[in-house]
Structures are given as C-alpha cells and as structure tokens.
Structure 1
Amino acid sequence: MKVRFVMLLFLVLLTSCATVINREASISLPKDKTYYLLPFVNYTESPKAGMKVQSIVAGVLQSKGYKVVLVPTEEELTDEKKLEELYTKTKGKKGIAVLGTVNEWRYKTGIDGEPAVSITLRFVDMETDKPINSMVLSRSGWSYESLGVVTQRILNKAIE
C-alpha cells in the first residue's frame, strides 16, 4: 500500500511540473489603414530569411484585404538597431508599421527534416508611436511541407 501511495505521489509531482502553452487566437486589425511593412530582422543562420518572411507577411495581409506598402532596404537586417533607424525614417506617416523578427527558419535535422518556423510581429501606430498588438508565432510542420507553407499557415490563422 505504501509503495502505491509513493508512486502515486511521485506521479502527481512529476505531472504537476509540466506546462504547455498553446494559444491559437487571431487578431483583428483595422482595414482602413495603410500597413508599412518594414524588413524583418534575421536572427537565424539562414540567409535572406527576413526578406522571405517579409514577402509572405505582405502576401497574407494583401490577401485579407489590407493595404500594404513594402519599405525597401538594400541589405538584410541582422540587428534591431537598423530596424529602429528604418522605422524612425518612416515615422510620422498615417498608418501602421509592421515590424518583426525571424527567430527560427530551418529544417530540423534527421530523417524527416521537418520545417521549423518562429517569427515575432509587432504592429505600431505610426502617428502616436504606440503599439497596437504583437505576437510570437511558432510552428513545425510535416516533412513534406516547406518553410513557406508553414509560415503562411500560422499567419493565416493569426491574422483575420
């Protein structure tokens, strides 16, 4: 009897430490504004991942009826200082700035080679310089999916 009680207690203690955060909520953004999509900062080892994610975000926003203006850059951004400088240059316009980072953009190693994506989005009102919303989106896909497909899927679920 004591052994069963100790095992049950151990099991309860072990499972009480586990935490899973999984929130699939979407945000609603005003459609009457212009969205200035700044280049994404690339924190991955994959070259041009920030530019790829920026173009996918632009496509998803446009497909949902948002007016998007891409803010061009000559080089890929690798730190947030350059992003803040670029944001300062575009600040004061009427609209919403979309800033972001790419935290993971790779295929996992192994037989399957699953795609893994993690991006951060921030929406800032350019007139008031106040944040509207922000989110972190992460997902891994099946081995037959591409990084672009996984990114598009999480963006379509996150943005109405």
Structure 2
Amino acid sequence: MRNCFIFLLTLIIFGCSSYHAERVPTVLSSNQWAMMPVANYSQSPLAGEQLEDLLTSLLFQKGVALAHYPRQDNISSLTQLTASPTGEFHRKWLANQKADYVLSGSVQEWHYKTGLDGEPAVTVTLTLRDKSTNELIWSASGARSGWARESIGYAAHQVLETLLAELPLGD
C-alpha cells in the first residue's frame, strides 16, 4: 500500500511537466555564443523577451557569456509585437558577430490558466546551432503547468533549468 501511495504521489508531482532533449556531444561554454530573438507564439506580449532574460541569467551562471542581439527601442511597441523575430536587422547583426554557437528558441505557451487557482502554464523550445554551418547541435522542449499562486516566472525558470541540465556544457 505504501509503495502504491509513493507511486501515485510521484505521478501527481511530475505529471504536470513534460521535457524532451536530445543527447549531443559536449559544447564549450568558453566558446562565443550569440543570442537571437526568441519567437513568441503565445498570446502574451513580450513573453519571448522575458524568456530571453531568464535564459541569459541561467546560462551566465553556467559560465556562458552570450552576445545578446540589440533590441530595437526606436520602433513602436505594436511593430515589436508583430515583427518577425529573425528579420533582416537581426540577421545583419548576427553576421557581424564572432560567435561559434547561435542560441534561439520559441515560446508556445505563457499564461495563467483561467479558474479559481490560475495556475501558470509555460511551453518553450530552445535550439543551439553551429554558426558557421547552421547545423543543429542541440534542441530541447519543455512544458510545465505550475501550482496555484505560483508565478509564471518561477514556472519558466523551472522549465529552463530542466532543459539546460540536458545541455552538455564543457569548459
């Protein structure tokens, strides 16, 4: 009976998350990394930029220094919300970077569920490419539905930590 209870408790705790990452050779944290815009396919404005900020912080803690694309502050908010995340401006910027790796991704879900508890729901995908060959080196996706009263930032942080744990970083 006790084993059954432990199994059910484990199922409940981990049943609200889903992660997938491919095993790849070690990538060097000491190499040059460039961050491209994260595409926002969610209904929440600026979710991609929020994810980028979390991702930059977590990678910095792992010894990765990202060259972050310049955000265009001189264009209207509406244009920023609807512009392509990899437009000509960003491609030109990347071409001038001496990066070995290019990190990008997308946000598919970034909201609070409706209802009494309003649990956060986050779904993201990350990709790492070799800049010189455009070869996909690593890709991971994860989703999490948090607990009631949990912040969406915390849920996103948990997803990113889990995904980045699968990224084999070396010095």
TM-score, normalised with respect to structure 2: 0.71
Question: What per-residue deviation string (whole Å, max 9, x for no partner) do you get for residues 49-88 of structure 1?
Answer: 1110110110111111111121122163646x54153245
Q: Counterparts in 2 of 1:18-97, with a 5 A limit?
A: 22-23=18-19, 29-74=27-72, 76=80, 78=82, 81-83=84-86, 85=88, 86-87=90-91, 89-91=93-95, 93-97=98-102
Q: Which runs of 4+ in 1 moved over 4 A?
A: 21-28
Aligned residue pairs: how many?
A: 139
Q: Which residue of 2 aligns with 1:111?
A: 116
Cα distance in 1 for partners of 2:150, 2:22 equals: 23
**CA spacing shift, 1:140–1:22, aligned 2, 3 Å:** closer
Q: Which moved more, 1:103-112 or 1:126-135?
A: 126-135
Cα distance in 1 for partners of 2:120, 2:55 equals: 18
- Alignment of 1:157 with 2:155, yes or no, is no
Residue 128 of structure 1 aligns to which amino acid in structure 2?
Answer: T
Tell me, yes or no, if the aligned pair for 1:105 and 1:117 is still in contact at 8 Å: yes
Cα distance in 1 for partners of 2:42, 2:19 equals: 24
Gaps of 5+ in 1: 1-20
Residue 146 of structure 1 aligns to which amino acid in structure 2?
Answer: S
Cα distance in 2 for partners of 1:88, 1:130 equals: 19
Gaps of 5+ in 2: 1-16, 166-171
Q: Which of 1 and 2 has higher RCO (CA within 8 Å, sep 6+)?
A: 2
Q: Which residue of 2 aligns with 1:5?
A: none
3-state SS in 1 of match to 2:133:
coil
Cα distance in 2 for partners of 1:154, 1:37 equals: 18
Structure 2 residue aligned with 1:128, among 112, 127, 133?
A: 133
- Identical amino acids, percent of aligned pairs: 32
Residue 128 of structure 2 aligns to which amino acid in structure 1?
Answer: F
Q: Which residue of 1 aligns with 2:142?
A: 137
**CA spacing shift, 1:25–1:102, aligned 2, 3 Å:** closer
**CA spacing shift, 1:73–1:133, aligned 2, 3 Å:** same
Cα distance in 1 for partners of 2:61, 2:132 equals: 25
**CA RMSD of the aligned region, Å?**
2.4
Cα distance in 2 for partners of 1:129, 1:40 equals: 17
Alpha-carbon shift at residue 147 of structure 1 (Å): 0.9
**CA spacing shift, 1:136–1:61, aligned 2, 3 Å:** same
